[in-house]
Amino acid sequence: MTAALFWVAVVLAARPEAAGYVDGGDHAIRCHYLEGQRALCELVVPALDEAWAAKVDQIGFASPLPDGGLGCSDALDLYLTHDGTGGAGGAYVICDGEEADPCVDAAAGDGKASTPSYIVIDPDTPEADLRGFVHHEFNHVT
């Protein structure tokens, strides 16, 4: 029961706060960071760009759906924050679709279950683990 309550609280919460952002190179990616964490975002963006290239461009996964400008652009948003991560290296993806049911399939009938989403990674994640976390969480937004 606790996990279900936690999920509902996270899904209905506003997007995490950020002090700034770094945009990606080859793909529509935006990494939002807290004060003093720009350098960490600059490590995450190439990993996210690499995940997109491998999974969408090479393997053929569907591109992440645009979020209608949430996060100040239609780019795939990744937030470096402690919000909901439990600290010490957590990560998750949040559905960001319709307000009444944010995880509803945005394109029912296309053979894929998809909805606009964003990624959250705890900034305390060990640097050596960031690339793996980014690649793993990217799987959930495609």
Q: What is the pLDDT of residues 17-72, one digit of tens each?
A: 899 999 988 999 999 999 999 999 999 999 999 999 999 999 999 899 888 888 88
Which residues on neighbouring strands pair with residue 23, listed in sequence order?
30
Tokens of residue 35, six digits: 């004060």
Please determine, for residue 102, whether its predicted confidence score (pLDDT) is greater than 50. yes
What does pTM read for this prediction?
Answer: 0.84
Over residues 129-140, the pLDDT tens digits come to 999 999 999 998
CA distance 97 to 55: 22
CA distance 112 to 105: 8
Using DSSP bridges, classify how beta strands 117-121 and 20-23 pair: parallel, antiparallel or unpaired: unpaired
Share of residues in the chain with pLDDT > 70 (%): 84
User: Which pLDDT score, from 0 to 100, does residue 60 have?
Assistant: 92
